[in-house]
Amino acid sequence: MTLGEYIKELRHQRRLTQRQLAEKAGVDFSYLSKIENNRLEHTPSIKTLQDLARVLEVDELELMELANKVPPVLEAIARDKDAMRFFRRATETIKDPEGWRDLLTYLDKQTKDQ
C-alpha cells in the first residue's frame, strides 16, 4: 500500500473529507489530493506527515515509513510494534538524561546476567 492509499483509507475510516483533513492538518486540500493520488514529485515533509498522523490518530512513524522518511538507524524499531511501544513508553516516562542513563545501566546489567 502506498502512502497516499493509506492516508485516503484512514481518512475514509474517520469519515473526513479531503477538505476537512487538510484543514485540521494545516495543509492545502489540493496538496492532500496529490498525496492521496500519488501525484507529488517529492514526498511530504516530516512535519506534514506528523500533522496528518496526529489528525488521523496513527503513529507518525507509520506514515514516515511509507514515505521512506524513517532514518536508517530507526528502521528496525519502526517495523516492530513492541519496540515502538517500548520507546513510546520510555519517552513518556523518562523526563531527564539521568533516567536514560539509569535505563541503559539496567539493560547493560540484564545483558551481563544472561
Give yes or no: residues 14 and 62 share one domain: yes
- Residues 26-55 have pLDDT tens digits of 999 999 999 999 999 999 999 999 999 999
Give the residue-averaged pLDDT of 55-62: 91
- In the chain, the number of structural domains is 2
Which residue's entry shows cell 500500500?
1
Give yes or no: residues 68 and 93 share one domain: no
Give the residue-averaged pLDDT of 109-114: 83
Give yes or no: residues 15 and 49 share one domain: yes
**Residue ranges of the alpha helices (H) in 1-114?**
3-13, 18-25, 29-36, 46-56, 60-66, 75-79, 81-93, 97-113
Give yes or no: residues 30 and 50 share one domain: yes
* CATH assignment of the domain containing 36: 1.10.260.40
Give yes or no: residues 60 and 109 share one domain: no
Give yes or no: residues 26 and 53 share one domain: yes
Task: Tell me which of 98 and 73 has the higher pLDDT.
Answer: 98
Give yes or no: residues 67 and 90 share one domain: no
Give the residue-averaged pLDDT of 84-105: 91
**Residue 48: which domain range?**
3-74
